Amino acid sequence: MLIVIRSCLVAVLILIGAYGTQAQDVLRVGVTSFPTSRGNPFNTTTGSPSSYTYSAFLEGLTRVNKNAEPVPALAERWEHETETSWLFHMRPGAVFSNGEPADAHAVAATFAMLRTGIGLTYPITRELDGIVSITAIDDATARIVTDAPNILLPSKMAGMNIVPPRYWADVGPDGFAAAPVGSGPYMIETWGVAEIDLVRSPSSWRQPKIERVKLITGPEPVARVQGVLSGNLDIGLQLGPDEIPQVEAAGHTMAVALDSSMQVLAFVTVKESPLQDIRVRRALNYAVNRDVIEQVLLSGYMPMASQTAPRNAFGYNPDLEVWPYDPEKARELLGEAGYSDGFSLTAEILLQSATFSAPVYQQVAADLARVGVRLEIRRIPASQYSRGVYQGEWAGATFGIDYGTNPTLDALQPLVRHSCLWTVPWFCEPSILPLIEKAKSAFDIDERQRLTQEVMRVQRDLVPGIFLYETTRFDALNRRVKGYEIAVGKINYDQITLNGD
C-alpha cells in the first residue's frame, strides 16, 4: 500500500511540474497514455486513448455526432450513385499542415496504402472491410465502391484518417509515426515519452481558438484530478464517479455523458468449459446483482446494459430489458446443466482498466460465489491482453472487454470482433451471421435499423458474456475551460476556449 501511495504522489508531482504555471494560450490535457503506435493512426485501435490524441491533428472524411449521425469533416457532402457506389465531395481548399492538398487524391492514396504491403497488417483494415475501391474522379470528388449495399458508409468513413500521400511515401510508416502530419486544427511540435506539444496549424480549415495544446500522460487518476484542482491542468480525462464530489467542491466541473460502448465479462466458448452450455451462461447473468453495481458502486451514473450496444448507438433495441437478479433461477439452471456444486473460472482483466471497474468485478465475483461459482480475477498487462484479442491466447475462460462502437456509433460494428467474423474468435455462433449480413446490406435506413435491433435481440439471447454497464465518460474540467463537449471518441479541440480565471 505504501508503494502504491508513493507512486501516485510521484505521478502527481511530475504532472504538476510538467504543467508549470497557467498560460492563457495553452490547453493542458491529462490523458492516461499515448497511442502505442505513436503518430501512425492505422496501427492501433480506434478507441481511447488513441482517438483523444489523433483528433487534435488528423481528420477523416466524416465524423459522427452524439446522435449517431454522420457530419462533414474533410468531405463537405456526399450522395450515393447506386447502392454500392458513393460520391464524396471534398472541402475546397483543405490542406495538410505541410501544404499538400487534402483532396480526393489523398483519400484514394490513403486507401491504396492500406490495401498493399504493410498496410494490410494494420488493425484498421478490418474496419474497412466491404470497401472495394476508392478513386479520385477529380481533385474535389472521391468515388467509393462497396461489395454490398451499406447505407451507413458515411459513418464508416469516420474511421479512416486521411494522410498526405507524398509525405507518407517520403518518410514511410516509421517516419510518419515519429513526425505525423495531418489536416486538423493543430500540428505536432514535439512528441516525447510523456508529453506531446501541439501548436495551431495556420493552414487548417478548422482554426482553433487556443494557440497551443499540451498532452501529458498521467496514468494514475489521482494525478489527473490533482492537476485540475491545482490549476496546473485544464482537462483531466477518463476519471470516475468517485472524483465528482471533490472536483465540484473546488468549483470545477465534471463533464459526464454516455460513451460509445458497453462493458461485458466476455465468455470464451471456443474451448472446452462449462460456458459452452448456454444454460450456464444464462445462470451467470441471473446471478449478478446489477442494482448494487449501478446504484452503489457506480453512484447511479452508468445504466446497466440490456444488449451489446449503448443506447446512443444506431440500432439500439429499446425493447430489451436488463437481466433480472434471480439467484434461485441461476442455481436451477446450473443444476440442469450438471453443475449443482458449481465450478471455477478465471477472469482476465486489463491492468489499465478504469478505476471504477475493479469493484464491479469484485461484486460480480461475490455474486457468483453465492451460487457456487468461484471466479478468480487476474489482472494482466496490455501486451498479454493484446495477445488474447489478436492471437486468441486467453488463459482464462472469461475476460473484461467492451463492445465499442467508436467512431461510427453503429451497433453492428463491435460484432466484427465479437463473433465468428473475427480472425481468432472467442465467441463464435454461426447462426447469427446471416442476420448480421442481411442487416449490414439493408439500404433503406429504417429497415437497417429494424434488422440491427433484431441482431441485438439475437446476440443478447446467445449470451456472449455477463452484461455489465454502458460506459460513461467522466472528464474533469478546470473552471476556466469553456466550450468543451464529450463527442464520440474525440475531443472538440477547435471549439474550446480558456477564460482568464
Q: What is the pLDDT of residues 220-251, one digit of tens each?
A: 888 999 999 999 899 999 898 989 999 999 99
How far is the C-alpha of 289 from the C-alpha of 325, rounded, in Å? 5
Q: Is the pLDDT of residue 398 over 50?
A: yes
Rounded to 5°, the CA angle 394-398-401 comes to: 90
pLDDT at 12 over 70: no
Tell me the pLDDT band of 1, cut-offs 50, 70 and 90: very low
Residue 46: the pLDDT is 62
Same domain, 12 and 28: yes
- Residue at 461 is within a domain: yes
Same structural domain for residues 455 and 334? yes
Q: Predicted confidence band at 258 (pLDDT cuts at 50, 70, 90)?
A: confident
Identify which has the larger pLDDT, 164 or 44.
164
In a domain, 177, yes or no: no
- Tell me what the pLDDT averaged over the chain comes to: 91
Same domain? For 123 and 193 the reply is no
Residues 102-113, mean pLDDT to the nearest whole number:
98
Q: Identify whether residues 446 and 346 lie together within a single domain.
A: yes
Share of the chain above pLDDT 90, in %: 80
- In tens, the pLDDT along 446-496 reads 999 999 999 999 999 999 999 999 999 999 999 999 999 888 878 999 999
The verdict on 71 and 36 lying in the same domain is no
> For 200-224, what is each residue's pLDDT tens digit?
999 999 999 999 999 999 878 889 9
Q: Is pLDDT larger for residue 468 or for residue 9?
A: 468
CATH number of the CATH domain containing 103: 3.40.190.10
Residue 134: strand, helix, or coil: strand
C-alpha to C-alpha distance for 391 and 475, rounded to whole angstroms: 33
Give the start-end residues of each E strand in 218-289: 235-236, 253-267
pLDDT score recorded for residue 24? 64
Residues in a beta bridge with 470: 262
Q: Which of 168, 195, 222 is the last residue of a domain?
A: 168
Same domain, 202 and 118: no
Under the banding of pLDDT at 50, 70 and 90, the label for residue 48 is low
Chain centre to alpha carbon of residue 355: 17
Q: Enter the C-alpha cell of residue 292.
A: 448494487
Determine, yes or no, domain membership for 179: no
**Averaged pLDDT for residues 102-128:** 93
Could you tell me the residue range of the domain that residue 149 belongs to? 62-168
Q: 43 pLDDT exceeds 50?
A: yes
Residue at 318 is within a domain: yes
pLDDT of residue 500: 63
Mean pLDDT over 287-301 rounds to 95
Same domain as 228, residue 288: no
Q: How many CA atoms lie within 13 A of 499 on its CB side?
A: 9
pLDDT tens by residue, 116-145: 999 998 988 888 889 999 999 999 999 999
Separation of alpha carbons 292 and 161, rounded Å: 41
Residue 304 lies in a domain: yes
Among 19-33, 210-224, 359-373, which stretch is predicted with the lowest mean pLDDT? 19-33
Q: What is the CATH number of the domain that holds 416?
A: 3.10.105.10
- Provide mean pLDDT across the span 308-335: 97
Same domain, 305 and 325: yes
Does the global pTM surpass 0.75? yes
Domain-embedded: residue 173:
no
* Preceding omega of 407 cis (within 30 degrees of 0): yes
**Are residue 75 and residue 111 in the same domain, yes or no?**
yes
**Does the pLDDT value for residue 5 go beyond 50?**
no
pLDDT exceeds 80 at position 167: yes
Same domain, 435 and 482: no
Q: What are phi and psi of 386, to 5 degrees?
A: -65, -35
Would you say residue 457 lies in a domain?
A: yes
Q: Could you give the CA distance from residue 48 to residue 31 in angstroms, rounded to a whole number?
A: 9
Residues 148 and 208 in one domain: no
Could you tell me if 417 and 260 are in contact, meaning their C-beta atoms sit under 8 angstroms apart? no
Number of domains the chain contains: 3
Task: Round to whole Å and give the CA distance between 90 and 277.
Answer: 52
Q: Looking at the predicted structure, is the pLDDT value of residue 14 above 50?
A: no
Residue 65 in this model has a pLDDT that exceeds 70: yes
234, 498 contact by CB (below 8 A): yes
Task: Cite the beta strand spans of 83-208 per DSSP E.
Answer: 85-90, 131-138, 141-146, 186-191, 195-200
| Rounded Cα gap, residues 12 and 226, in angstroms | 7
178 pLDDT band, cuts 50/70/90, is: very high
Q: How confident is the model at residue 11 (pLDDT cuts 50, 70, 90)?
A: very low
Lowest mean pLDDT among 67-81, 320-334, 383-397: 383-397
Structure confidence by residue, pLDDT tens digits, 415-458: 999 999 998 999 999 999 999 999 999 999 999 999 999 999 99
Type of residue found at 453? Q
22 located within any domain: yes
State mean pLDDT over 41-62: 86
Amino acid occupying residue 276: Q
Q: Which residue has the cell 487548417?
A: 204
465 with 320, same domain: the answer is yes
